[in-house]
């Protein structure tokens, strides 16, 4: 069905083209891969319909005695290849459309790197900066209890995402264990190492961004050591990506967070900037950096741009301004389909999120395996396994892009969706 056509009478609302936003973007991406699915195309509605959507009320006692209610979600997009896998975000702008899209991108991402997971995602619409630590714990535990009916080590495994971290995962794991009456370290990943977390998990997504970025640069004849890099978002993914590119000799000339954009033609001192951010200091106070307007970020003269913030940052309104030769998507869904077309017409290589930021879920898979076996690997072993898997996955995707003469995003969807639908076809329908 054409995404721009009207849905059949009685079709679910999430197939209605009026329901755009992130989910609408995902549906457009699926339509672009349809011609390459062959006989598996008959299963395409599997990709267009989430398997399970859970919307929950999350009431908690606030410190001042009030009872506040928050809306939470857990979406399992597809579990044909294994249990659902995907993060949980706490953000004031979380919507069902966003969580649906993120769960679907997780399905494609997990299949693209060939780890045995399906796709899932969760979120609570809340600004965690307005909560005390005790309120945040109560929110996390209540949300976990509400979604506990569909998560589990062999059912659906949450992980950190925007505004959630190792501590939040520890609370989720403990809540699930208390409700189940038994320990279950594998119910979440991204936990503290002392509770069954994996070494290397914290830097894994950024390391994956760097790994596939290096591989892509070689294919287009770009010398990373002589490149200029601009990074949007200086959280875990953006900061680690910036650090690794800087260690490889690149100049990180611009960094943007949700408040400020800074620039230095000679390159920013990334370790110092990371320490600056950890102290809670604002980017615009970083010594020696020029402060730019937020919109000026898209005009920065650079070779590599890494959007590592939120969805829909690169759009039809700013894509033509970008000077980079290559964009590596550290965030999920940062580029709209219209912007994709503009960038492709300008010969800007876009390394899509569904392969570029798959390092985090790859090491989450390692953590899950280690928890089941109660045998843990060294950080060097983790990093070596991560790099090998990411390089092998990118090589397959690059070859598909060349053979089919399509973008890397479409090539990644061809690989991922084919694996998902092949598993669906093999399993058949029950009953």
121 is catalytic: yes
- The 10 Å Cβ neighbour count of residue 187 is 27
CA atoms within 13 A on the CB side of 26: 32
Give me the catalytic one of 121, 129, 191, 243. 121
- Distances in Å between the Cα of 259 and the Cα atoms of 160, 168, 271, 292 are 23, 25, 20, 11
Spatial separation of the C-alpha atoms in residues 201 and 236, rounded to whole Å? 11
Backbone angles phi and psi of 328, in degrees to 5: -115, 115
CA-based torsion, 145, 150, 154, 156: positive or negative: negative
- What does the buried/exposed string (b/e) look like for 310-348 if buried means 16 or more CB atoms within 10 Å of the residue's CB? bbebbeeeebeebebbbbbbbbbbbbbbebbebbbeeeb
Pairing verdict, β 251-256 and 228-232: parallel
Spatial separation of the C-alpha atoms in residues 296 and 158, rounded to whole Å? 36
Catalytic residue IDs: 121
């Amino acid at each position: 069905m054409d995404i721009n056509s009207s849905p059949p009478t009685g079709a679910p609302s999430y197939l209605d083209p009026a329901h755009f936003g992130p989910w609408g973007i995902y549906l457009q991406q699926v339509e672009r891969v349809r011609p390459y699915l062959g006989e598996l195309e008959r299963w395409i509605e599997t990709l267009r319909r989430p398997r399970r959507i859970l919307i929950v009320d999350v009431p908690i006692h606030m410190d001042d005695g009030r009872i506040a209610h928050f809306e939470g979600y857990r979406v399992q997009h597809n579990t044909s290849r294994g249990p659902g896998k995907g993060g949980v975000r706490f953000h004031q702008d979380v919507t069902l459309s966003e969580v649906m899209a993120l769960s679907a991108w997780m399905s494609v991402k997990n299949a693209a790197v060939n780890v045995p997971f399906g796709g899932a995602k969760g979120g609570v619409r809340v600004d965690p900066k307005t909560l005390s630590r005790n309120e945040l714990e109560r929110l996390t535990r209540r949300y976990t209890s509400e979604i506990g009916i569909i998560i589990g080590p062999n059912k659906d495994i949450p992980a950190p995402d925007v505004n959630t971290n190792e501590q939040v995962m520890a609370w989720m794991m403990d809540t699930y264990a208390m409700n189940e009456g038994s320990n279950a370290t594998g119910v979440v990943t991204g936990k503290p190492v002392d509770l069954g977390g994996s070494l290397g998990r914290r830097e894994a997504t950024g390391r994956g961004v760097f790994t596939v970025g290096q591989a892509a640069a070689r294919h287009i004849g770009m010398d990373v050591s002589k490149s200029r890099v601009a990074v949007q978002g200086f959280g875990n993914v953006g900061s680690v990506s910036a650090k690794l590119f800087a260690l490889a000799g690149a100049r990180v000339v611009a960094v943007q967070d949700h408040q400020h954009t800074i620039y230095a033609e000679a390159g920013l001192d990334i370790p110092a900037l990371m320490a600056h951010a950890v102290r809670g200091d604002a980017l615009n106070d970083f010594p020696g950096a020029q402060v730019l307007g937020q919109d000026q970020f898209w005009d920065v003269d650079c070779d590599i741009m890494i959007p590592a913030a939120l969805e829909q940052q690169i759009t039809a309104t700013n894509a033509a301004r970008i000077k980079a030769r290559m964009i590596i998507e550290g965030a999920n869904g940062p580029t709209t389909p219209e912007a994709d077309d503009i960038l492709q017409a300008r010969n800007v290589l876009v390394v899509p999120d569904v392969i570029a930021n798959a390092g985090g879920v790859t090491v989450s898979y390692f953590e899950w395996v280690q928890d089941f076996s109660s045998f843990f690997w060294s950080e060097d072993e983790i990093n070596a396994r991560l790099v090998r898997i990411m390089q092998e996955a990118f090589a397959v995707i690059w070859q598909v892009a060349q053979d089919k003469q399509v973008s890397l995003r479409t090539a990644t969807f061809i690989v991922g969706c084919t694996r998902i639908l092949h598993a669906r076809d093999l399993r058949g329908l029950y009953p």
